[in-house]
Each structure stands twice: as C-alpha cells, then as structure tokens.
Amino acid sequence: MAYEQEKQVAMQATLAAAKLCQRVRQDIPPAMEKSDKSPVTVADYGAQSLVCKALGEAFPNDPIVGEEDATALRSPEYEASRQKVVSYVREIEANASETEILNWIDRGNGQVAPRFWTLDPIDGTKGFLRQDQYAIALALIEDGEVKVGVMVCPALSLTSDDPGTLFVAVRGEGSQMMAITEGELKPIRVCGVEDVSKLRVVESVEASHGNPEQQQKLLDAVGITTPSLHMDSQAKYGVVAAGDAALYLRLPSADRPDYRENIWDHAAGAIVVEEAGGRVSDMYGQPLDFSRDVKLRETRGVIVSNGIIHDRVLEALKR
Ligand SMILES: Nc1ncnc2c1ncn2[C@@H]1O[C@H](COP(=O)(O)O)[C@@H](OP(=O)(O)O)[C@H]1O
Ligand SMILES: [Mg+2]
C-alpha cells in the first residue's frame, strides 16, 4: 500500500500528541498569548514537540511546517511554561532533555517544499480551552497535493461512547476512522442526499472565524432548514467525511477581510473528506492550493461537502 510508513508514523505520532493534550486538559491550562493575540497552551508546544520528534526520526529529510515555534518558550519570561512543557513531554518521552524538546518544537519551522509535512498540534485551541472539540492535524504534501492526512479528535465520539476519534486518509486509498479506545480502522463515506432541507451543516463555534450572517443566508438560499451544529477545529471535516454532516461552511469573516487561511488548518481535513467521496473548494469552486505558501493566499472561504450538494451551494453563492 502507498505511503504505509508515513501513515503509520503519522498515526502513532498524533496519538501520542493527543495523549499529552488530554493529560494537560485535566489540569485546565492557562493560555499564553502569541504576538497575533491568538491563544497558545503548553499542550500546543508539547504536541508539536512529540510529532516533530517522531517525524524527524522517521523522515529526517522532510521539512515540517508547524503552527508553533519555541522562540517565546525559550525566553526567561516563559520559564514556568517551559518547565511544564518539559514535564508533560517527559511523561511520554522519559529521557528527553529540555534542549531536545525545544529543538523538536523548532523542527516545525520548515518551509513549503516539493515534499513536506504540515502540522497543527492543536487545531481549535479555543475549543481545547473551553473543554470542547479540538484536533491534532498532520498532513504530508507532495508537489502541492495532500497525500496523507491524519486528524485525532480526542473529544469527539462518533462510533463509540468513549470520546476520541482518529481519521486517516491516503490519496487514492480512501478514508478510515477509528474510535481511539477500540483501535480498529474502518472505511468511511460521506452521506447521500434524500431531502435537502434536512441536511446537517457544521460551522465554527467562533463567529469571528467565519461569517455567520452570510452563511445563514446561503443556507436559506440552498433550502436547508436544520439548525447548524457548531464545532471547533477540523473535527468538522471529520463529521462530513463520516457522513454525519453534509456540509461545512466557512465564509470569509466580514471583520477580517485580510485574513488568509493557514495550510495546517485545512490540509489533513481536506484529504479525509475527499477520500471519503466529498469535495473541498473555496467559495468560487477553486480547489485549495497547498503548493505555495503557509497561507492559502488565493483561497477565499472554504466549502466542504458530501460532493452531491456542492454545485448547488456554489450556485447559491454566486447569486
Ligand atoms: N478570522 C479568521 N478567519 C478564519 N479562521 C481563523 C480566523 N482567526 C483564526 N482562525 C483560525 O481558525 C482556527 C480554528 O478553526 P475553527 O473556527 O474551525 O475551530 C484557528 O486555528 P488554531 O486553533 O489552531 O489557532 C485559527 O487558525
Ligand atoms: Mg488551527
């Protein structure tokens, strides 16, 4: 099977990171603030450290484009947070030194290349802090195409009562899902459409990450009457891929017209939905361009669907 080693390493690495995140969340961490004012926690750093360590050992030549870097954490001001990161990582990597842990985080400073990984160690940090949904999202991109994607959603239960769901996809080989406690991968498929009005839709919890008014107008135009489910992180891609929702809408925020989506916020989710039979595009129907930059500069809005409903949504958007 193609990319078998990449798939296995990515799954093991994100599961270890998820274990660290669950452990940190028991302690309800205070958030630090990044220079762009977005929140970050010791779990974001710890998760990035573990995933980059595993990738660095298995694929030493692959750059990693990760969301975090250790610059702030290395400063005297963040001594207490640094010690916490080190202590949580050592629960999993007992012999790791502080220098190694910080260097693993900084392996995520790579650039877009012909072959690279992109990592969001905690996608949905606000959800993580609220005790809601979040995901560890990792994708391998070659020549601009996502080849492997893994998302671990530690708080999501779809097939089991126990929380924790992993999604994985390899290009050309379909998408699979497993309840973390069960550990058995099963193929997943997007849902069909019987009655458009009853389709389930997922949107962000954070209103400022999309455009709730325009999204509601669009749903009215398409004729969907079921109230949307609000969920943080790329878990939204997961529920579309698993057939639990038909549509995920993310229109550009009216307050932040200059905002551009990050590559790590979409790469893993996109392949999981596409390989489950769904479709992912921007609001003009263009595919997301993962070949150029950390920011999806040409992408405006993201529409994720079961495929069947996609053109109808794009048509309504045009109107
Ligand atoms: N104005 C904005 N528009 C779209 N996405 C935004 C945004 N501001 C922040 N985000 C992104 O939204 C992500 C969370 O997505 P969601 O709303 O689906 O939970 C954040 O990821 P992080 O939590 O990894 O920082 C962040 O990258
Ligand atoms: Mg994110």
Cα of 194 vs centre of ligand 2, distance in Å, is 33
What pTM, to 2 d.p., does this model score? Answer: 0.97
Place of tokens 């392949």: 271
Would residue 44 show up in a list of annotated catalytic residues for this protein? yes
- 262, exposed or middle or buried, with CB in 10 Å at 0-12, 13-18, 19+? middle
pLDDT (tens digit, 9 = 90+) per residue, 161-180? Answer: 889 999 999 999 999 999 99
pLDDT digits (tens, 9 = 90+) for 184-217: 999 999 999 889 999 999 999 999 999 999 999 9
Neighbours of 132 (CB within 10 A): 16
Determine whether the shortest distance from the Cβ of 275 to ligand 1 is under 6 A: no
Catalytic hit among 41, 125, 165, 299? 125
CA distances (Å), origin 244, targets 201, 236, 241, 274: 9, 10, 8, 15
Closest to 55 in 3D by CA, of 118, 128, 145: 118
CB-CB contact of 69 with 105 (8 Å): yes
Ligand nearest to the CA of 126: 1
ipTM (interface pTM): 0.98
13: CB partners within 8 A, 6+ apart:
50, 51, 53, 54, 55, 138
Query: pLDDT digit string (tens) for 107-127?
Result: 999 999 999 999 999 999 999
Instruction: State the residue for tokens 């990035």.
Output: 48
How would you class 278 by CB atoms within 10 Å of its CB: exposed for 0-12, middle for 13-18, buried for 19 or more? buried
- Choosing from 14, 41, 44, 106, the catalytic residue is 44
CA atoms of 305 and 229, how far apart (whole Å): 14
Q: Which residue's CA lies nearest to atom 4 of ligand 1?
A: 209
